[in-house]
């Protein structure tokens, strides 16, 4: 299923279309389960997380901005963030604040946040200079966590070809960002 079809399903889900939501789950459930499983490393926990992810998708489908991100990247981000939140809740809470080491505040200041937003725009511009298939492969590998083998199968190319695609694409991105 291509991006436009997935975007349409998400849009229809935002309107409360249960059939569209069912189709969305059918076409993306295994991928999002894989994202949850990679992070949680526990099948029952990943299955439960996946259910919660689709509840979030149902409730927040109206927040999907089709022009800003790909549908699968948005769904994977929802799954990834939810799974990471579950991992964080697994950690035991300190009994006494005195038992915790002092940790410096590492949040970026407003200036650093503004710089980061500008860099994201530059990265997006450079990604747009790549061939579409290469840009999708880079996003899948480095944002969604696909392995080289999974990408090679998805794009129906030999494994070494996929490695070459990614290596060359990263070099082109570096050149573009250094301009």
Neighbours of 105 (CB within 10 A): 5
Q: What is the pTM of this model?
A: 0.52
Q: State whether 127 and 72 are in the same domain.
A: no
Q: State whether 68 and 25 are in the same domain.
A: yes
Q: What is the CATH number of the domain that holds 168?
A: 1.10.10.10
The separation between the first and the last C-alpha atoms of the chain, rounded to the nearest angstrom, is 36
Residue ranges making up the domain that contains 172: 118-178
Helix/strand/coil percentages in the chain, nearest 5: 75, 0, 25
Q: State whether 78 and 27 are in the same domain.
A: yes
- For 30-85, the pLDDT digits (tens) are 999 999 999 999 999 999 999 999 999 999 999 988 788 889 999 999 999 999 99
Q: What is the CATH number of the domain that holds 84?
A: 1.10.1740.10
- For 125-147, the pLDDT digits (tens) are 888 999 999 999 988 888 888 88
Closest residue by Cα to residue 130 from 176, 65, 77: 176
Give the model's pLDDT for residue 67.
81
159: Cα separation from own chain's centroid: 23
Q: State whether 80 and 7 are in the same domain.
A: yes
Ranges assigned E (strand) in the chain? none
Give the model's pLDDT for residue 68.
81
């Amino acid at each position: 299923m291509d991006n436009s079809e997935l975007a349409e399903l998400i849009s229809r889900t935002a309107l409360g279309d249960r059939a569209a939501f069912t189709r969305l789950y059918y076409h993306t459930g295994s991928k999002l389960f894989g994202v949850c499983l990679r992070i949680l490393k526990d099948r029952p926990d990943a299955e439960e997380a996946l259910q919660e992810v689709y509840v979030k998708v149902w409730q927040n489908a109206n927040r999907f901005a089709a022009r800003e991100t790909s549908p699968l990247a948005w769904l994977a981000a929802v799954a990834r963030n939810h799974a990471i939140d579950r991992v964080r809740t697994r950690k035991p809470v300190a009994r006494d604040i005195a038992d915790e080491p002092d940790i410096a505040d590492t949040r970026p200041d407003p200036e650093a946040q503004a710089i980061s937003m500008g860099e994201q725009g530059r990265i997006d511009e450079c990604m747009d200079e790549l061939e579409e298939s290469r840009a999708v492969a880079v996003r899948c590998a480095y944002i969604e966590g696909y392995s080289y083998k999974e990408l090679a199968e998805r794009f129906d190319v030999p494994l070494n070809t996929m490695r070459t695609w990614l290596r060359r694409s990263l070099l082109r991105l570096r050149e573009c960002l250094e301009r």
